[in-house]
Amino acid sequence: MKSFAFLFLPLVIALGSLQGGEPPVLEIKNKSSFQMASNGRNPFWPIGFKPTAQMLSPRADNAGPAVPLTAFLLTSITLDQGTHFAIINGKTIQEDQEFSLKSGSQNYQIKLKSIEDGRVILVCRDQEIIVPLRRK
C-alpha cells in the first residue's frame, strides 16, 4: 500500500501541472530601494565591527604631511559630570587641551576638541580627526 502512494503521488503532481497552462504574470507595484544616511552605520558590516579612525574636512592648504591615523590609540574615556578625560597613547588628556605627537621625524601639535561616547575628535592644522575607542 505504501509503494502505491509513492507511485501515485508523482503522477497526480504531473497531471496537475499539465492542466494548469501558463502561470499568472506578477505586476510589481512598488520597487524597493535602499538609501543609507551619510553618518549611519553600514548594515553590511559584521556585528561588533568598528571602523578605523577617519579624517574629516581635509584641506589642500595645510602645510606639511598629514598626521597618520595609526598614530593614535584611544584606550579609555571618562565622561564625568563636570570634566571629560580620555587616555590617548597612554596620556590622560582633557577637552581643549593641547599635546604634541612625534611620529617618525615629524612633530605635530594636536588639540583635543571634544570627547564623546565611544570616540574623540582631535584637531591638527585645521583638520578634524575622529578616533574611535579601542574595544577588545
Separation CA 75–CA 87 (nearest Å) = 6
For residue 37, the number of C-alpha atoms closer than 13 Å in the C-beta half-sphere is 3
Chain segment 41-77, per-residue pLDDT in tens: 777 778 877 766 655 555 545 455 677 777 888 898 8
**What letters, b where the CB count within 10 A reaches 16 and e where it falls short, cover 92-108?**
ebeeeeeeebeeeeeeb
Q: H or E segment at 10?
A: helix 2-20
Residues 6+ apart with CB under 8 A from 120: 74, 77, 86, 88, 112, 113, 114, 130, 131
Separation CA 8–CA 97 (nearest Å) = 83
- Residue for grid cell 589642500: 60
Q: What pLDDT shows up at residue 46?
A: 84
Q: Are 118 and 127 in contact (CB under 8 A)?
A: no
The pTM of the full predicted model, rounded to 2 decimals, is 0.52
Q: What pLDDT shows up at residue 126?
A: 82
Q: Are 62 and 126 in contact (CB under 8 A)?
A: yes
Q: What pLDDT shows up at residue 118?
A: 86
* Positions of the chain with pLDDT lower than 50, given as ranges: 60, 62
The grid cell for 23 is 502561470
